[in-house]
Amino acid sequence: MAELVGCITTSHVPAIGRAIAGNLQDDPYWKPFFDGFPAIREWLARVRPDVAVVISNDHGLNFFLDKMPTFAVGAAPQYRNADEGWGIPTLPPFAGDLDLSWHLIEQLVNADFDITTCQEMLVDHAFTLPMKLLWPDAGDTWPVATVPVGINTVQFPLPSAKRCFDLGREIGDAIRSWDSQRRVVVIGTGGLSHQLDGQRAGFINKEFDRKFMDSLAEDPAWATQYSIRDLVEFTGTQGIELLNWLAARATLGDQAQLVHANYHIPISNTAAATMAFATAN
């Protein structure tokens, strides 16, 4: 059976792409954020995943407000970058893993999750930036195949924190039941607290961000006690992207080993953070 080696959670702020394109990793504004990745890259080099399941949210590239699936899974042979042009160069296509995609889709449907199956899918900064941050030296071929999983964090009504946590549990079970010798890492992207519009534009809640990050290590279901409205109040309209983090962490079960964590504000009016967890022995 396949091995789930761990999960990584990280922010996907579009301006990170501009910093990467401008080689600003050592700039005083950006360095505290980029310093969160060397330890995680070293861990990735040790566990050597073959496939990355990337849990993120679409920003209007594949879906818009008139058609917004709650959950979507990519089942394409490859995924092309079609981002908004925030500075990251056009990246080579990401190879898909069709066998794992269809296994996930079938297992999730059998577990009563209604999944939108996408046999064609483009990827934006929510997908491309974490991949570039984790594998910055990838050339024309990425070192892992990929399976995108989309969660609606844009158009109300949103799935509850508990529903996203349960989705993550099922994804983890599906990966572990996959008849393959491949090693899989799960990546959850977005957040943390930020709001880009309205009266609370610029809102950041460091206290809640820290509590949430601590909970992922100590009590991963902690955030499921809160409603979506509570979480928007705590983290801002776009901070609800923490649902992607929650689903990613849930794939590992109750126990996991914290590899590394980093938290920094501000990055483009966003609390930017990164965590990595290894599967518990």
Q: What is the pLDDT of residues 255-271, one digit of tens each?
A: 999 999 999 998 788 99
Instruction: Give residue 175's domain range.
Output: 3-279
pLDDT of residue 85: 59
State both tokens at 208.
């809640």
Number of folded domains that form the chain = 1
Q: How confident is the model at residue 94 (pLDDT cuts 50, 70, 90)?
A: very high
What is the pTM assigned to this prediction? 0.96
| Residues noted as catalytic | 125, 194
Query: E strands within the chain?
Result: 3-10, 51-56, 71-74, 78-81, 94-95, 116-118, 122-123, 145-151, 183-189, 256-264, 272-279
CATH number of the domain enclosing 46: 3.40.830.10
pLDDT at 140: 86
Looking up tokens 């529903």 gives 163
pLDDT at 142: 96
Residue with tokens 């969660």: 151
- Provide φ and ψ at 92, rounded to 5°: -65, 155
pLDDT at residue number 151 = 98
